[in-house]
Structure 1
Amino acid sequence: MKLYSAKQIYKADQISIKKEEIESNELMERAALQLFNWMHLRMQGAQVKIHLFCGIGNNGGDGIALARHLVDHGYNIEVYVVNYSEKRSKDFLINLDRLKDRKVWPSFMNSDDQLPEIGRDDIIVDGIFGIGLNRTPDAWVAKVIQHLNNSQAFILSIDIPSGLFTDQGPDDFDTIIQSNYVLSFQTPKLVFFLPETGGFIEQWEVLDIGLDPEYLMQTETEYELIGKNEVLTLYKPREKYGHKGTYGHSLIAGGSYGKMGSVCLSSKAALYAGSGLVTSFVPKIGYSILQTALPEIMVMTDAGDNELTDIKFDIEPSVVGIGMGMGTSDATVKTFSEFLKHNKLPLVIDADGLNILSKNKELLKYLPDNTILTPHPKELERLIGSWKDDFEKLKMVKAFSKKYNCLVVVKGAHTIVVNKEKGYLNTTGNPGMATAGTGDVLTGILTGLLAQGYSALDAAIFGVYLHGRSGDIAVESTGFQSLTASHVIENLANAYLDLFKMPEQPVTEEENQSN
């Protein structure tokens, strides 16, 4: 699913209006009707008090038009216009007149007005600001927003939580609506998924308001949201006459004294991801551990007893996943440096491999094209430097990806695969995966997919999805606190099977009665 910028959505509005030969207020009416249908389906005329807080722009116009439909269907509403400017949009004024025709008179709120009383069992509809907001709200408007947040009432936001910018980070987190539910027009917004801003949205849903499909299809976006439908097109089925050599050979290199578990996890994950063969390359201390823990893999050791000192092998793997538990001693740094300078194989680099790169940036020039880097937030900061907000972070990651012709997997609640100018946001995963070893598992999955012939971009997108989906399936039986990296590996098979699982059909009323 494409994630459009505010500018692209405005253009889609204009093109739709022109192509359909309609007025802009007709498009607003279409949006308001979708909002009303969503609420009416769930409320069925319930007489809970609904407070609609509307700005004086088009987002406020949506709220005013919604109020009219609610009134027409007998709902108990109160309408407030947050009067933060003397300028009003044309469509806001049209809908304000239509509401007044029904003898509904909004309360106009100004800076010195008393804040209205809201019960915790009431519903708030937030239509103060829309996607066009580009500056921090005035202090008195911020107090209104804080009052709504403190009310403990259910807050439903129109298109985007008021106070949240669409395409830049917030300047003041106290001026943003904390939404229980956001009804987003046509597409979700990038800010719904970023660490700094995602917490302002508990749930979201897209309402199709009929923007021009041709424009939406043809327009390239900087970001895409990745779900099952998107990854299904990437899946490579097994061949009837294939053999283990058909599906590649993964080499997993890493480990040091006391940190062999990370290599075990990565190697096992590469197997479960479908790699035909897996070899672990470890210090001598890891030989017995790997041979005992994973009978399906092969093990090679270098000359070092407790750490890697010379990464050389006489096999021909398809890909190398490296860095897990490797350490950053002087000997290991030298070993890793020499390996990079001579390596021609596709790479996935994680953990200590990233830490060595961040301290020795001259080594970045030796990365093969389309190397996949998998940093967690601190590793990323060490690699690219600090950032002001999530938007600046993504800008910096894109520049880094372009400069070194690599892919960066920005790990988080919504892991983002960055390939030069484009980002792919993952929708799977859960808080239980914030536990030791899950990053090692991801590295193994990515390595295993590359071994099978997936392109670096497809492997990164698909691998991140599978990793999160496996965690989602696992957590159903473990709970968040007890989920481990091993559970994620063990449920990779279920994640694959889930790709082809049809959604359950809802039971009809007729079927209910027959039962």
Structure 2
Amino acid sequence: MQKLINQQQMRSADVFTIKNLDISSIELMETASMAFVNEFVQEITAVETPIHILCGKGNNGADGLAIARLLQDKGYRAVAVYLVDFSEKETAEYQTNLNRLKDLWFPLTTVKTIADLKTLNDGVIIDAVLGSGLNKPLTGAYAELATFINGLNYQVIAVDTPTGFPAEGAFAKTDIFIKADLVICFQRPKINFFFPESAAALNRFRVVSIGLDEGFIEKQTSPYALLEQRDLKDLIQPRKSFTHKGTYGHALLIAGQRETMGAAILAAKGCLYGGAGLTTLSIPESGLTALNTALPEVMYLDRKELSGTAFAAEKFKIIAVGPGLGTDTTSADLLKNLLKLKVPMVIDADALHLLGNDESLRKQLTEGSILTPHMKEFDHLFGTHESWWARLQTAREKAVELKCVIVLKNQYTFIIDQLGKVIINPTGNPAMGQGGMGDVLTGLIASFAAQGYQSVEAAYAACFVHGLSGDQLAVTRVSVKASAVAEHIPEVVKGLTI
């Protein structure tokens, strides 16, 4: 996993790298600017494209000045630089790179008011105004600049961070940013890029290495880590000779009502295609025909048996409950009885709603259980939140308090372990925005748990595989069905074992 660090730590990494490699700050800046340009030319291939580079007077602006020179060296013939002069302060690196441009007789426009940008023609804007150098909302001339640039509707590519957008921490819905189509960021993505609110500041981002000391970065204290495909390759092993259905565990899924049998079937699909040795689905008897028709490999357990004295929970490696379960008194009593078993469970959907209705039930959760809420379910459980940053901090606190894993679903899903560490899953895409995806994920988590993975491993492995299945299918599809995601899982898992 790739450790994600805050901006203060990133600045420390800059300082350490400069000292350890015995290079100057301006040399490291040149490396960063070249990394940006190498990515930029993959995005904007036509060298005749008008490029307008807005440069503040700090190091982000210094990057912009170096980028202008390097783009000209690459053959881009219509590069214009605008010096945003809203501050008296300037860094030494800014002045050095400005002098290099002046030595080349490069055309420069000083911007003291928005009126100085009125002649800005169509083209691409490179935002190198402030980057991560601001730790407060934009006001005054900077806010006016952001509003003006956003109103042009030109393509904007930001250097490291969109102007005004904080790298980490909460921010208000009313805050103003320069909206970037693309951010080319240095060495690590910013933590705030993974929150839905980031859509106000950027559409997408790419990360480029600028040669910072990776050993130093990985030694920093941080609760945030980005999941990588190599983590799954290290975790998921090929199936060995002489293994059998008993080797890969037995999962029990408790899901569905007469009107919501689809949720139960989808959860069972996730478990079955995820590779559990045995999958048993407990549904109302009215759904038995649908189950036998759709998934003959999945066994059936009468819902009535769950409350009987003959129910042997120990035969199952994991129990998952919730998809389509309902929230009536009967379902609430069922959940109460399951919690008395004192076994770890995967809890989703309606079962989460029932936990939110009764705080005493949350206190009965068995250590190692996995909760899989989306935003509304999370807030029903733990209270309303004004921002995703606040929601994530609550998730960290509650995971520690309950000794559970919390899978906080999002385009970039957050998996929070019992120590409050946050693992960010990068897979998944908007084509998966259809009903039933969460049901499949619940079944897949149960599948990995049945196969012997620890709770947090089962959670992050399932999230990665689930999202990757959707990513691969979305290459040729506008939308992706939950059933299709489930059925493609074996190919995804196979690819991770090669």
- Shorter chain as normaliser: what TM range? over 0.9
Query: Structure 1 residues 166, 311: closer, same or farther in 2, change over 3 A?
Result: farther
Say which is worse superposed, 100-109 or 207-216, in terms of deviation: 100-109
Q: Deviations over 1:232-267 (max 9, x none)?
A: 111132121111111100000122221122112112
Provide the aligned C-alpha RMSD in A: 2.3
Query: Structure 1 residues 267, 54: closer, same or farther in 2, change over 3 A?
Result: same
Alignment of 1:292-371 (within 5 A): 292-303=293-304, 313-314=311-312, 316-341=315-340, 343-371=341-369
Distance in 2 between the 1:43 and 1:197 partners?
Answer: 23
Distance in 2 between the 1:371 and 1:425 partners?
Answer: 19
Instruction: Tell me what 1:504 maps to.
Output: none
Instruction: Tell me what 1:237 maps to.
Output: 238
Distance in 2 between the 1:431 and 1:43 partners?
Answer: 25
Instruction: Tell me what 2:483 maps to.
Output: 486
Contact 2:465 2:492 in 1 (8 A): yes
Q: Which has the higher contact order (CA 8 A, sep 6+)?
A: 2
1:112 is displaced (CA, Å) by 6.3
Say which is worse superposed, 459-468 or 314-323, in terms of deviation: 314-323
Distance in 2 between the 1:128 and 1:136 partners?
Answer: 14
Find out whether 1:429 has 2:390 as its counterpart.
no
3-state SS of the aligned residue for 1:469? helix
Instruction: Tell me what 1:81 maps to.
Output: 83
The one-letter code of the counterpart of 1:164 is F
Distance in 1 between the 2:310 and 2:358 partners?
Answer: 21
1:13 is displaced (CA, Å) by 0.5
Instruction: Tell me what 2:16 maps to.
Output: 15
Query: Structure 1 residues 234, 198: closer, same or farther in 2, change over 3 A?
Result: farther
Distance in 1 between the 2:27 and 2:252 partners?
Answer: 60
Alignment of 1:173-192 (within 5 A): 175-192=176-193
3-state SS of the aligned residue for 2:252? strand
Q: Deviations over 1:248-289 (max 9, x none)?
A: 000001222211221121122211111111111223333343
Find out whether 1:380 has 2:378 as its counterpart.
yes
Instruction: Tell me what 1:133 maps to.
Output: 134
Say which is worse superposed, 140-149 or 266-275, in terms of deviation: 140-149
Distance in 2 between the 1:10 and 1:266 partners?
Answer: 45
Q: Deviations over 1:337-362 (max 9, x none)?
A: 12202x23221000111001111111
Question: What percentage of aligned pairs have identical amino acids?
Answer: 34
Distance in 1 between the 2:442 and 2:73 partners?
Answer: 56
Distance in 1 between the 2:45 and 2:253 partners?
Answer: 58
Q: Deviations over 1:159-204 (max 9, x none)?
A: 1111110012333556212212221111111222211114533332
Distance in 1 between the 2:328 and 2:44 partners?
Answer: 63
Instruction: Tell me what 2:27 maps to.
Output: 26
Distance in 2 between the 1:392 and 1:117 partners?
Answer: 42
Instruction: Tell me what 2:390 maps to.
Output: 392
Show structure 1 runs of 5+ residues with no match.
Answer: 502-515
Contact 1:136 1:172 in 2 (8 A): no
The one-letter code of the counterpart of 1:335 is L
Find out whether 1:202 has 2:203 as its counterpart.
yes
Distance in 2 between the 1:314 and 1:500 partners?
Answer: 34
3-state SS of the aligned residue for 2:204? strand
Contact 1:429 1:468 in 2 (8 A): yes
Instruction: Tell me what 1:266 maps to.
Output: 267
Distance in 2 between the 1:311 and 1:98 partners?
Answer: 82
The one-letter code of the counterpart of 2:222 is T
Distance in 1 between the 2:9 and 2:146 partners?
Answer: 27
Q: Deviations over 1:211-235 (max 9, x none)?
A: 1132023334322222322221111
3-state SS of the aligned residue for 1:170? coil
Instruction: Tell me what 1:406 maps to.
Output: 404
Query: Structure 1 residues 116, 274: closer, same or farther in 2, change over 3 A?
Result: same
1:378 is displaced (CA, Å) by 0.7
1:43 is displaced (CA, Å) by 5.8
3-state SS of the aligned residue for 1:250? strand
Contact 2:253 2:268 in 1 (8 A): yes
Distance in 2 between the 1:291 and 1:42 partners?
Answer: 51
Query: Structure 1 residues 310, 469: closer, same or farther in 2, change over 3 A?
Result: farther
1:446 is displaced (CA, Å) by 0.4
Distance in 2 between the 1:43 and 1:259 partners?
Answer: 49
Distance in 2 between the 1:66 and 1:292 partners?
Answer: 61
Instruction: Tell me what 1:508 maps to.
Output: none
The one-letter code of the counterpart of 1:497 is K
Query: Structure 1 residues 189, 312: closer, same or farther in 2, change over 3 A?
Result: farther
Contact 1:249 1:275 in 2 (8 A): yes
Contact 2:60 2:133 in 1 (8 A): no
TM-score (norm 2): 0.93
Distance in 2 between the 1:112 and 1:435 partners?
Answer: 44
Find out whether 1:498 has 2:484 as its counterpart.
no
1:487 is displaced (CA, Å) by 1.1
Distance in 1 between the 2:230 and 2:184 partners?
Answer: 22
Distance in 1 between the 2:195 and 2:395 partners?
Answer: 14
1:393 is displaced (CA, Å) by 1.1
Say which is worse superposed, 99-108 or 149-158, in terms of deviation: 99-108
Contact 1:376 1:412 in 2 (8 A): yes
Query: Structure 1 residues 442, 41: closer, same or farther in 2, change over 3 A?
Result: closer
Contact 2:416 2:423 in 1 (8 A): yes
TM-score (norm 1): 0.90
Distance in 1 between the 2:303 and 2:317 partners?
Answer: 20
1:73 is displaced (CA, Å) by 5.4
3-state SS of the aligned residue for 2:389? helix
3-state SS of the aligned residue for 2:52? strand
Equivalent pairs counted in the alignment come to 494
Show structure 2 runs of 5+ residues with no match.
Answer: none
Distance in 1 between the 2:216 and 2:126 partners?
Answer: 30
Find out whether 1:222 has 2:231 as its counterpart.
no
3-state SS of the aligned residue for 1:245? coil
Q: Deviations over 1:26-65 (max 9, x none)?
A: 2212212323344456667823222110111111111122
3-state SS of the aligned residue for 2:117? coil
1:415 is displaced (CA, Å) by 1.2
Distance in 2 between the 1:400 and 1:60 partners?
Answer: 41
Find out whether 1:97 has 2:94 as its counterpart.
no
1:492 is displaced (CA, Å) by 1.0
3-state SS of the aligned residue for 1:366? coil
